[in-house]
Amino acid sequence: MRIRTIAVPAVAALAVLLLPEQAIKAEAQFVANFGTVAPDNTPWSEQLNEVKNRIESESDGRVKLKLFLGGTLGSEIEMIQDVMRGERLHGGGFSTGAIGEAAGIPLLQMVELPYLFQTNAEVDAVLDGVLFDPVNAALEEKGFVLGAWAENGWRNFATKGGPATSPEELAQYKMRSQESPVHLDMYKQYGVQAVAKPVSEVLPALNTGIVDGFDNTPLFSIAAGWIEPVTHYTMSWHIYQPAGVVYSKKFIDVLPPDLQTIVRGDPHAEAKRGREAVRVLDDVLVKQIQDNGKTVIWLTDEQRAAFEAPALNVHKSFLLKHPELKGLYVQIRQTLNGMR
């Protein structure tokens, strides 16, 4: 399978435009503009189309969604802040770290602590069994409603000119970092010069040598076109990055109760569908990276351990800044220890 290369990230955003009051009374119909920075022909855009079709079908046309792909409604941070204000946009699907940064929700940054998770089973157990309710509560305080978890996946290091099989090797490169304190602190612990850049600026920065590499998932790296300028892709699995489909609480509150239920749907079933659609492509996409002439490296257990040790300092510094999350962090650790 070959995914079209587009220089945009692969996450979603939602905007809602309510019809005039007279039209609502006449037709009981709500029109939602559903925007996303995700490229077309990816699992993310397919999932959004499935959400659109489900809501329109189950509401008998009383709620209609219009999808706008490719970031035409703005950057991820801008859209999250719009959703939080409940004005131009009223929902969306964004990476957890971006929501945490834009909306001031540290809990969502904690999910992306490096080397917190080891397997997909651990991820699912924690996100669904431990964090769904606390995250939904934290989002509601900021004016959001959690519709479902979505998935970007496991982030890996991509570099130009050589591999990144140790922190020392990684420190040779100037790396693009996501605009997140957790991501920046991780690179600091590795001794790496990191440059925080929005997704729209990453490909030009790679092509012009402003940065020498980045970290992201195979699907995102290919869909965004970022894989083209690099030479090596190191399977470090250092951060698992979920996303969240969120709605503006203002939007949910104006819907009649039956439509609220329809729009919300089954969050756990929706999360399962989204994860499966991304995970089934993992091996295919890694092979595609190799077929495109890139060198793919799998870390040994010893190499992974060398990355994991300094990453634990990110956990410590995060909890020092956010002591209110220590109890939940301990609960996560207990769940993970019970699975290992």
Cα dist from 45 to 1, 94, 108, 126, whole Å: 16, 13, 23, 26
pLDDT at residue 318 greater than cutoff 90: yes
Q: Return the amino acid letter for 194.
A: A
Q: In this structure, is residue 247 part of a structural domain?
A: yes
Mean pLDDT over 155-179 rounds to 97
Q: Give the pLDDT of residue 27.
A: 61
pLDDT at residue 236 greater than cutoff 50: yes
pLDDT band with cut points at 50, 70 and 90 for residue 60: very high
Q: In this structure, is residue 1 part of a structural domain?
A: no
**Per this entry, what is the length of the chain?**
340
Q: In this structure, is residue 2 part of a structural domain?
A: no
Residue 256 has a CB neighbour count (10 Å cut-off) of 12
Q: Give the number of domains in the chain.
A: 1
Exposure on the CB side of residue 332, measured as CA atoms within 13 A: 24
Q: Give the pLDDT of residue 246.
A: 87
Cα dist from 80 to 139, 200, 274, 287, whole Å: 12, 16, 20, 34
Q: Give the pLDDT of residue 170.
A: 98
Based on the number of CB atoms within 10 Å of its own CB, is 40 exposed (0-12), middle (13-18) or buried (19 or more)? middle
Q: In this structure, is residue 3 part of a structural domain?
A: no
Q: In this structure, is residue 10 part of a structural domain?
A: no
Cα dist from 227 to 38, 44, 130, 157, 207, whole Å: 16, 18, 34, 11, 11
pLDDT band with cut points at 50, 70 and 90 for residue 338: very high
Q: What's the pLDDT tens digit per position in 13-29?
A: 333 344 444 444 336 48
Pairwise CA distance, residues 72 & 114, whole Å:
31
Q: Give the pLDDT of residue 26.
A: 37
Q: Give the pLDDT of residue 271.
A: 95
SS3 333: helix
Q: Give the pLDDT of residue 97.
A: 87
pLDDT at residue 154 greater than cutoff 70: yes
pLDDT at residue 71 greater than cutoff 80: no
Q: What's the pLDDT tens digit per position in 195-219?
A: 999 888 999 999 999 999 999 999 9
Residue 267 tokens read as 């969050």
Report the alpha-carbon angle 312-318-322, nearest 5: 145
Average of per-residue pLDDT values in the chain: 88
Q: In this structure, is residue 116 part of a structural domain?
A: yes
Q: Return the amino acid letter for 208.
A: T
| Rounded (10°) angle between helices 43-58 and 267-279 | 150
Cα dist from 61 to 90, 254, 262, whole Å: 19, 17, 12
Q: What's the pLDDT tens digit per position in 101-121?
A: 999 999 999 999 999 999 999
Mean pLDDT over 150-162 rounds to 96
Mean pLDDT over 71-81 rounds to 83
pLDDT at residue 3 greater than cutoff 60: no
- State the residue range of the domain holding 287: 15-337
Q: Give the pLDDT of residue 270.
A: 93
Per-position DSSP letters for 13-45, written without gaps between them: -BEEEPPPHHHHHHH--EEEEEEBSSPSSSHHH
Residue 6 tokens read as 């587009």
Q: In this structure, is residue 299 part of a structural domain?
A: yes
Q: Give the pLDDT of residue 36.
A: 73
Q: In this structure, is residue 185 part of a structural domain?
A: yes
Q: Which of 313, 271, 235 lies closest to 125 in space, CA to CA? A: 271
- Which is higher by pLDDT, 300 or 11? 300
pLDDT band with cut points at 50, 70 and 90 for residue 38: confident
pLDDT band with cut points at 50, 70 and 90 for residue 34: confident
Pairwise CA distance, residues 39 & 68, whole Å:
10
SS3 266: coil
CATH number at residue 291: 3.40.190.170
Q: Give the pLDDT of residue 33.
A: 76
